[in-house]
Structure 1
């Protein structure tokens, strides 16, 4: 593996596809995400083939995807629409912070008052310098990733933005001089579960719509459009 120094690291692609969305939103208190295992069941091998191609080149057109997979262009379009509607994939433009003048990256581990965990998380989400935040098990309660212009800016962040947050008991900062592999490098593995065919997918979708309608949350035909 070639280690790439962060200062001067090559630009990431102008467009990228994230098969695991980077901006997950908790659907209930505590940060739990509903439906993840169910959603995995609704991904067919056709979907996987499309995702793998887009992860290599997110700018591929419907026609190019059709030629590469042997799938009709209309099917490619329909599959991509469904994947986006269900939040399985999303598209994003990636910018190189270093070439825009933001040369310092750091991971910061936080020990916090657990009774204020959600309150602190909400405040961290609102800080522009914080590009990633997650609850942890182990020595830290929360880990954040920050991008700033300089070492001085990092000190200002620690003292002026992080320290005033009530409930943060202590922090430990790890400056990252080199990036070995970026988080955007995740690639969908080869299928590790039996793939659904289109008929099975349609059946599961219908079951989901009927179940939702029965619970009084909607009518059949509405779920897939959400």
Structure 2
């Protein structure tokens, strides 16, 4: 696991935590004072709660760009089959690659699914043949090129801010 993705500590989320997460998933730049007013709590409570969520590894605030709109020509999902028992180690190796934005251990037809973002076809080809397929444990890969990204969203099930 990389330094940027620490395992989340278990926190019991209450209604305020869920509302803060929901609001910040909509706009991560919302001022704490605005959140405090909207939620009927003090700004110091908001600041403390958000810091606690971030420190636990449960929550982070990031900017999300559509790579196809900022000069990256190749976005692909890659299904990977691994030697038996090597899936977790393959994931650990793939997390370290700058081109990976999503790495998950899965069940079904693939052991690992990866999202990669590359500048162009040459960059993608180099990544596939000189890096990804040489990771110990990788047996085979199957690529799915993204032609258009219709939704890039990261707001999951914490409820509405209302």
Work out whether the TM-score is over 0.5. yes
List alignment gaps of at least 5 residues for structure 1. 1-22, 27-32, 192-226
Indicate yes or no: 2:57 matched with 1:87.
Answer: yes
Identify the residue that residue 150 of structure 1 maps to in structure 2: 120
TM-score of the superposition, structure 2-length normalised? 0.83
Change (3 A) 1:24 1:183: farther
Q: TM-score, normalised by structure 1?
A: 0.62
The answer on whether the counterparts of 2:66 and 2:149 sit within 8 Å (CA) in structure 1 is no
SS at match of 2:86: helix
SS in 2 for 1:90: coil
1:164 aligns with 2:134: yes
Cα 1:101–1:48 shift into 2, 3 Å: same
Which has more radius of gyration?
1
- Long gaps (5+) in structure 2: none
Report what 1:5 is aligned to: none
Change (3 A) 1:122 1:139: same
Distance 1:107 1:129, change over 3 A: same
Report the equivalent of 2:20: 50
Give 1:209-224 correspondences, 5 Å limit.
none
SS at match of 1:43: coil
Q: 2:75 maps to which residue?
A: 105
Query: Does structure 2 retain, via aligned residues, the 8 Å contact 1:55–1:187?
Result: no
Structure 1, 83-92 or 137-146: larger mean CA deviation: 83-92
Indicate the residue corresponding to 1:134 in structure 2. 104
2:84 equivalent to 1:114: yes
Per the TM alignment, residue 169 of structure 1 is displaced from its structure 2 partner at its CA by 1.1
* 1:33-48 alignment runs, 5 A limit: 36=10, 39=11, 42-48=12-18
Q: Per the alignment, in what secondary structure is the counterpart of residue 179 of structure 1? A: coil
- Provide closer, same or farther for how the CA distance between residues 119 and 73 of structure 1 changes in structure 2, counting only shifts above 3 A: closer
Q: CA deviation at 1:185?
A: 4.6
CA RMSD of aligned residues (A): 2.3
